[in-house]
Amino acid sequence: MPYSAARRPVVTRYNYGPSDQIEIPKVWVPRTKKKALCIGINYKGQDRELRGCVNDAWNMAEFLKSSWKYACEDIMVLTDEPYNLKYMPTKRNIVSALRWLVKDAQPGDCLFFHYSGHGGRILDLNGRRVDGHRTDGFEKAIHPVDWESAGEIMTEDLYDVMVKPLPTGCRLNLSLCRLVSHTDLPYIVTPKIGHIKRHAVNSRALTKYPQAHVVVFASCSDFQGSGGVIIGGGEFLGAMSSAFISSLTTNPNQTYLQVLASVQDILLRTQWQTPQLSSSYPINSSQQCHL
């Protein structure tokens, strides 16, 4: 069963602007070093309804709290549970929550973003691109629960809100379950082999990205789908989220490349998908995975 909404952190009202309606955890006094945003959307009652995404969000939040010392008040969870209207993952609420995640970020801070839900590729009519060009003519996007009326959140929007404001020395880790990487980082890692190569399409993005350390674990390649698993007790989970948590729970002292290889080993038992690791800087074989 998914975690109860009663386990949500105590919050206080804070307004970023007249359009924001969600309550934001109070984090400024005393200053925090770790913050996390976990989003899970099942799209109940919509076409292409998913199972397990809400479970993924709560499980990831619990994992960060119990294994990586994230405080409850520094974790925000958005899910489309019917009794959870205040924290519904609408487009407006997701953008507002992303601003909360990176607000007042300082060198040495560690931020974490988890998303479990639908994503897609949309014809890029405006030519918006952080590196100035696109070869396939499509823009990636994630789908808020109200995407049919409010629209998708595009890759460029995620970059502008979540990545661009980060200072030098700040660390942002992303876990994307059920979709491919949506921040288009300039370096990608081939699973198992650990070979690091520059992403040719994003070569000109290198001068655009900040000096912050941004690392993305994505569930599959651009041409694959992502599945789910059923664990003991009948709980349905996203395969990537489950493998990621299992790997780092079994052995929290791994390098990024070891985590990628371990996650792939777990996925190969039940899934036909290849996890992806991308980053804003070259990751060497000794780079420790820090959440």
Q: Verify whether residue 114 is a known catalytic residue.
A: no
Find the catalytic residue in 177, 182, 213, 220: 177
The residue whose two tokens read 């190969």 is 268
Cα 72 to Cα 28, 34, 85, 186: the distances in Å are: 14, 11, 20, 33
Three-state DSSP class for 86? Answer: helix
Three-state DSSP class for 36? Answer: strand
Surface-to-core class of residue 163, CB atoms within 10 Å of its CB (0-12 exposed, 13-18 middle, 19+ buried): buried
Q: Verify whether residue 177 is a known catalytic residue.
A: yes
* Most distant pair of Cα atoms in the chain: their distance: 49
Cα distance between residue 97 and residue 31, in whole Å: 18
Find the catalytic residue in 118, 143, 182, 213: 118
Three-state DSSP class for 76? Answer: strand
The residue whose two tokens read 């405080």 is 71
Cα distance between residue 259 and residue 281, in whole Å: 17
Do the strands 171-177 and 110-116 form a parallel or antiparallel pair, or are they unpaired? parallel
Angle between helices 256-267 and 239-250 (to 10 degrees): 130
The 8-class DSSP code of residue 3 comes to P
The amino acid present at 196, given as its one-letter code, is I
Cα distance between residue 198 and residue 85, in whole Å: 42
Q: What amino acid positions are annotated as catalytic residues?
A: 118, 177
